[in-house]
Amino acid sequence: MPMKLYFNPQSRAVIAKWMLDECGAKYDLVHVDLQKREHKSPEFLAINPAGKLPALVDGEARLFENAAICLYLGDKFPEARLAPKPDAPERGRYLSLVVYSTSQLEPSMGDFLMNLETPPQRGWTDFTSALNAVERELGNGPWLFGDWFTAADVMIGSMFIWARIQGHRSGRPSIDAYVDRLLQRPKGLRPS
Ligand SMILES: N[C@@H](CCC(=O)N[C@@H](CS)C(=O)NCC(=O)O)C(=O)O
């Protein structure tokens, strides 16, 4: 039975869809109407108790949070080569970057775009420090693991594509060029 992605094009579910497409996965999209608040229905809350998109159902497995979905799919589709194997030397850095995208980069970017301060007690970093970290990890690229495109690029890259869609460029030449490259991927996210 194909996987089901609970989806709305105006939501972060586009990130999980990008990952599914990079994996070459077969899946069905289940459109969730946010205006009708279908994401708060008891049926959907049984899949994602947080009532947010995306969510993925794969047989008996249910997943929510893009980072978890990307990590799951990266391991499920080894032939797509989007994830270092559990015993590979790159694995630790890979896991760290995927988690960093959602735990540090995304909230710091949100603060920045909303003109909010980021006090250290918040548990995430300020946006300048996040840019420094990504710049350092990206190095000369083209991807976070050199020539190897992974799910970490889907997660970290999505945050910058989203900012680009909001009309924001990082002002860091290497990161802005990275976003340009990500936008050229045949199966990638497109600003709409
Ligand atoms: N960290 C979550 C964020 C999920 C999220 O915030 N989804 C938004 C759409 S962009 C949502 O469903 N919002 C509807 C609501 O909260 O009512 C992830 O990456 O999966």
Q: The CATH number of the domain where 50 resides is what?
A: 3.40.30.10
Q: The CATH number of the domain where 165 resides is what?
A: 1.20.1050
Provide mean pLDDT across the span 51-71.
98
Q: Kindly give the distance from the C-alpha atom of residue 87 to the centroid of ligand 1, in angstroms, as a whole number.
A: 32
- Cα angle 170, 176, 181; round to 5: 150
In a domain, 12, yes or no: yes
Query: What does the pLDDT read at residue 179?
Result: 97
CA 127 vs CA 73, 117, 133, 148: distances in Å: 28, 10, 10, 26
Best residue among 53, 66, 98, 155 to mutate for probing ligand 1's pocket (most ligand atoms within 8 Å of CB) is 53
Burial of 126 (0-12, 13-18, 19+ CB in 10 A): middle
Spatial distance between the Cα atoms of 166 and 170, rounded to a whole number of angstroms: 12
Query: What does the pLDDT read at residue 190?
Result: 74
Chosen domain end from 20, 52, 80: 80
Q: Are 125 and 108 in contact (CB under 8 A)?
A: yes
- The atom number, within ligand 1, closest to the CA of 65 reads 20
Atom 14 of ligand 1: nearest residue by CA position: 52
Provide mean pLDDT across the span 72-79.
98
Percent over 70 (pLDDT), the chain: 99
Please tell me whether residues 144 and 62 are part of one structural domain.
Answer: no
Q: Binning pLDDT at 50, 70 and 90, where does residue 140 land?
A: very high
Q: Is the pLDDT of residue 188 over 90?
A: no
Q: Kindly give the distance from the C-alpha atom of residue 16 to the centroid of ligand 1, in angstroms, as a whole number.
A: 12
Q: Kindly give the distance from the C-alpha atom of residue 55 to the centroid of ligand 1, in angstroms, as a whole number.
A: 10
Please tell me whether residues 66 and 139 are part of one structural domain.
Answer: no
Number of structural domains the chain divides into = 2
Q: Is the pLDDT of residue 5 over 70?
A: yes
In a domain, 96, yes or no: yes
Q: Is the pLDDT of residue 90 over 80?
A: yes
Spatial distance between the Cα atoms of 191 and 9, rounded to a whole number of angstroms: 11
Query: What does the pLDDT read at residue 192?
Result: 59
Q: Kindly give the distance from the C-alpha atom of residue 163 to the centroid of ligand 1, in angstroms, as a whole number.
A: 16
Range of the domain at 64: 3-80
Query: What does the pLDDT read at residue 120?
Result: 86
Instruction: Please give the backbone phi and psi of residue 7, each rounded to the nearest 5 degrees, phi first.
Output: -140, 145
118-122, 153-157, 187-191: range with lowest mean pLDDT: 187-191
Provide mean pLDDT across the span 89-112.
97
In a domain, 86, yes or no: no
Query: What does the pLDDT read at residue 42?
Result: 97
Atom 17 of ligand 1: nearest residue by CA position: 52
In a domain, 33, yes or no: yes
- The atom number, within ligand 1, closest to the CA of 15 reads 19
pLDDT tens digits, 23-44: 999 999 999 999 999 999 999 9
In a domain, 37, yes or no: yes
Ligand 1 interacting residues, C-beta cut-off 6 A: 11-12, 34, 39, 52-54, 65-66, 102
Chosen domain end from 80, 114, 147: 80
In a domain, 188, yes or no: no
Q: Kindly give the distance from the C-alpha atom of residue 88 to the centroid of ligand 1, in angstroms, as a whole number.
A: 32
Provide mean pLDDT across the span 73-101.
98
Gyration radius of the chain's alpha carbons: 16
Query: What does the pLDDT read at residue 191?
Result: 66
The set of long-range contacts for 77-86, using a CB threshold of 8 Å and a minimum separation of 24, is 77/23, 77/24, 77/25, 79/24, 80/22, 80/23, 80/24, 81/148, 82/19, 82/22, 82/23, 82/149, 82/150, 82/151, 82/154, 83/150, 83/151, 84/145, 84/150
Q: Kindly give the distance from the C-alpha atom of residue 147 to the centroid of ligand 1, in angstroms, as a whole number.
A: 31
Please tell me whether residues 150 and 169 are part of one structural domain.
Answer: yes
In a domain, 190, yes or no: no
Spatial distance between the Cα atoms of 105 and 108, rounded to a whole number of angstroms: 5
Please tell me whether residues 152 and 172 are part of one structural domain.
Answer: yes
Q: How far, in whole angstroms, is CA 175 from its chain's centroid?
A: 16
